[in-house]
Structure 1
Amino acid sequence: MFIQTETTPNPQVLKFLPGRTVMETGSRDFRSAEEAGASPLAAAIFDLDGVNRVFFGADFLTVGKLVSADWDHLKAPVLAAIMDHFTSGQLLFGAGAEAAGDEDAYEGETAQVVAEIRELLDTRIRPAVARDGGDILFDRFEPDTGTVWLHMRGACAGCPSSSATLKSGVENMLKHYVPEVVRVEQTL
């Protein structure tokens, strides 16, 4: 098994490409060792000193490290944990621990606006962000203020350039294609 690595715009996050599907659908972000308990792979990576975040995408995973940790010392153990997991045939998640759906109930015209926002996110924005090892998920739309709230995950969470990506890229695109959108904010 050959696992490629790529840097991301966030110097504290490295992208790992195992050459196979990681998640069939959706994505999953683990921000603590407790959350990682839902996945044997995430738990094994969190067991390594210096790891503070793990994110699973469709065909990649990203690992975040503490500022005090060094990729020169951390990269090989992460690669070993990923290889051990995939060669052992273990499931990615324990029973009942897969990612939950994020569908909200909107009605009428607001439902149409939300559908347009989600479509733009899924077809144009998320694929571009995934190339950098991250993901952006819809949280909610406030029709009274025209505010879209988004979760930035993976390499995007805490990235020095995430504010610029959110405002210059995502907000401008959503405002251009969906006139009801006035601004975009990040859900923390």
Structure 2
Amino acid sequence: MFIQTESTPNPATLKFLPGLAVLAAGTADFPSEEAAATSPLARRIFGAGGVSGVFFGPDFVTVTKSDDADWAHIKPGILGAIMEHFQSDQPVMSGADGAVDHATHSGPDEEIVIQIKELLDTRVRPAVAQDGGDITFHGFDRGVVYLHMQGACAGCPSSTMTLKMGIENLLRHYIPEVTEVRPVAI
């Protein structure tokens, strides 16, 4: 098994490509070791040490290192943990699938929210996945779109620029009712 690694715009996060499907659908975010209880793979990666977050996409795993860790020291252990997991035939997720998707929204703005989610799914999420992250819809209130950033996007130095200059401009261009985009932490 050969696992490729790619850097991301977030220097604290690396993207690992095992060459196999990681999740059949959606994404899964594990911002702490405690959150990894539903995933044998995430638990194994946290066990490698120096890891502060794990995120799964369809065909990739992004790992965020703790502030005091050095990639040169922890990367071999993470590669080993991913390789051991996929050779063990254990599932990536146990029990609940843990997949994250957009929040539901109903009410007078429902048509606007449908348009927002469609643009996020077709234009934004594929581009963000290339960088090892995901962005999901969290809410819409009085022209303000609230988005949740995950994986390499969470804590990325360029995330504010991505939200304001990229996503906000895109949504405002296609949906005049959108006036602003703000990040939300869950």
1:55 aligns with 2:52: no
1:116 aligns with 115
Give the C-alpha shift of residue 100 in structure 1: 5.6
Q: Provide closer, same or farther for how the CA distance between residues 102 and 125 of structure 1 changes in structure 2, counting only shifts above 3 A.
A: closer
Q: Provide closer, same or farther for how the CA distance between residues 161 and 28 of structure 1 changes in structure 2, counting only shifts above 3 A.
A: same
SS in 2 for 1:37: helix
**CA distance in structure 2 between the aligned counterparts of 1:98 and 1:6, rounded to whole angstroms:** 24
Q: Provide closer, same or farther for how the CA distance between residues 58 and 97 of structure 1 changes in structure 2, counting only shifts above 3 A.
A: closer
Q: Provide closer, same or farther for how the CA distance between residues 104 and 177 of structure 1 changes in structure 2, counting only shifts above 3 A.
A: same
1:149 aligns with 146
**CA distance in structure 2 between the aligned counterparts of 1:96 and 1:20, rounded to whole angstroms:** 21
Query: Which residue, 144, 166, 177 being the options, matches 2:163?
Result: 166
Q: Provide closer, same or farther for how the CA distance between residues 74 and 166 of structure 1 changes in structure 2, counting only shifts above 3 A.
A: same
**CA distance in structure 2 between the aligned counterparts of 1:147 and 1:6, rounded to whole angstroms:** 33
1:75 aligns with 2:75: yes
Give the C-alpha shift of residue 97 in structure 1: 4.5
**CA distance in structure 1 between the aligned counterparts of 2:156 and 2:105, rounded to whole angstroms:** 31
1:175 aligns with 2:178: no
Counterpart of 1:62, as a letter, is T
Give the C-alpha shift of residue 41 in structure 1: 0.5
Give the C-alpha shift of residue 103 in structure 1: 4.2
- 1:17-36 equivalences under 5 Å are 17-36=17-36
Give the RMSD, CA atoms, in angstroms.
Answer: 1.2
**CA distance in structure 1 between the aligned counterparts of 2:164 and 2:105, rounded to whole angstroms:** 26
2:26 touches 2:57 (CA, 8 Å); kept in 1?
Answer: yes
The runs of at least 4 aligned residues of structure 1 exceeding 6 Å deviation read: none
Post-superposition Cα deviations, 1:35-68, rounded to whole Å, max 9, x if no partner, equal 0111000001111221000000111010000121
List runs of 5+ in structure 2 lacking aligned partners. none
Counterpart of 1:125, as a letter, is V
2:65 aligns with 65
Post-superposition Cα deviations, 1:90-143, rounded to whole Å, max 9, x if no partner, equal 1111123432654414134x111111000100000011111111110010111x
TM-score by length of 2: 0.96
Aligned length in residues: 185
2:29 touches 2:100 (CA, 8 Å); kept in 1?
Answer: no
Percentage of matched positions with identical amino acids? 55
**CA distance in structure 2 between the aligned counterparts of 1:41 and 1:160, rounded to whole angstroms:** 27
**CA distance in structure 2 between the aligned counterparts of 1:17 and 1:116, rounded to whole angstroms:** 31
SS in 1 for 2:146: strand
List runs of 5+ in structure 1 lacking aligned partners. none
